[in-house]
Amino acid sequence: MKMIETIRIAAMLGITGMAAIFYSCHSSPHVRYDLNVVKHEQGWGYEILRDHKPFIYQQYIPAIEGNKAFADKRSAKKTGRLVLSKLQHHQMPTVSKEELKELGISGD
């Protein structure tokens, strides 16, 4: 029972977070986004700045189970560019397993 409640709360928090990002993407037409690729202890990740302020920090490969960092700078940059493009086109900045596959990125 506790496991179901924990999953339910996590899902609600995730949905709320994505709604907040979606709303903030549409709230101002003159928003500037920038991409930085970052090295950390486990590997590579990326961050997206919105008007020079941290907006998204992605330390792990999205859509992949577990916490797996990008193996190299190139993979993190390709995924970050995809997310950046979605934000610039007023789309939800989510990444699917299929999109990762198209980019040649796996969680192995």
Distances (CA, A) of 22 to 3, 7, 18, 47, 99: 28, 22, 6, 17, 19
Q: Which domain holds residue 20?
A: 2-103
pLDDT digit string, tens, across residues 39-75: 999 999 999 999 999 999 999 999 999 999 999 999 9
In a domain, 108, yes or no: no
In a domain, 18, yes or no: yes
pTM of the model: 0.73
- At residue 71, the pLDDT reads 95
In a domain, 17, yes or no: yes
Mean pLDDT of the 6-11 span: 62
In a domain, 53, yes or no: yes
Percent of the chain with pLDDT over 90: 69
H/E element, 11: helix 2-26
Count of the separate structural domains present in the chain: 1
